[in-house]
Chains A and B, each alone.
Chain A
Amino acid sequence: MRNAALLKLLGSCLAVLLMMVGCATSVPLQRAQVDSFRTGDSASDLQTKLGKSTPTLEHSFDYAGAQYLARHFNLQTGMQQSGTVVCTPTCMYIPIMVPVYTQFVIVYGDAGRTVRAYGTLEELSKSPEESISALMPGLKLAMEKAQAEKKKG
């Protein structure tokens, strides 16, 4: 009887773990990686800095006759406690630490060869550098289109 309850508890924990792994379709960026980025980095240099991090979305967009590439990542900004209740048959709360992400974008110019800008959508949109903030309306429109296509496909 006790073994059955233990098995049920382990099974529930495994299910939660699998659910979390299943949700992690991309490898997030960490703040330490972002600290190593520089505007003007070549795409290959930046790829080395990105390591195993993978984008959640990639798309191109145009601005003032030039084409840009945007790669979106999940930047891990912290952890928060979540939890689940497992009843075997007495109920207990199992706390789980869940990562918190914010959307981070890297913009490549020069036909995708160099890094033009990087930051959260909010940071880039309100950048005091006019040449950066001016890119954002076009980037966001293209992003919405790419997201819709990704959902469809």
Chain B
Amino acid sequence: MIRFLVALGLALLTSGCLTTISHYQLSQFNRGMSPPEVTEKLKKPPLVSIPVAVDGRSFVFDRYFLNNGMGADIYYLAYERNGLVFWGYVSEFRRHPDATLGHAVDKAIQVPTPAAAR
């Protein structure tokens, strides 16, 4: 019984780690990084990659859960021409001086996360 409870506890603890990224990891990113370089830093793939076309530009938005200490928030990494252009919460994208990024994230948030990735 104790073994079962320990295993269950460990499984619950690690399941959170598998699907979320942490705040300290955000300072490791640099603009222009490729998706594989970012995945290597994060040690985990995105929940979903969402291609978005806006104003004649093509982006890919990678969606992650960012651990906020109490739970997790949706966090995006945006790539253009295979290079990282910006990363942040939805609100940060909307405040970005490049308004196209704000319009693009509004399209990306409409795409649901596949149940298998949650």
Point out residues on A near B: beta carbons under 8 Å. 103, 120-122, 125-126, 128, 130, 133-134, 136-137, 140
Interface majority SS (helix, strand, loop, mixed), chain A:
helix
Q: How far is the CA of A136 from the CA of B32 in the complex (A)?
A: 11
- Categorize the interface residue count of chain B: 10 to 19
Closest to A128 in B: B97
Q: How far is the CA of A140 from the CA of B30 in the complex (A)?
A: 9
Closest 8 CB pairs of A and B: A121-B27, A122-B27, A133-B31, A137-B30, A122-B26, A128-B97, A136-B30, A125-B30
Point out residues on B near A: beta carbons under 8 Å. 26-31, 86-88, 96-98
Q: How far is the CA of A130 from the CA of B30 in the complex (A)?
A: 11
Q: How far is the CA of A122 from the CA of B31 in the complex (A)?
A: 11
Residues of A within 8 A of B97 (CB): 128
Residues of B within 8 A of A103 (CB): 27
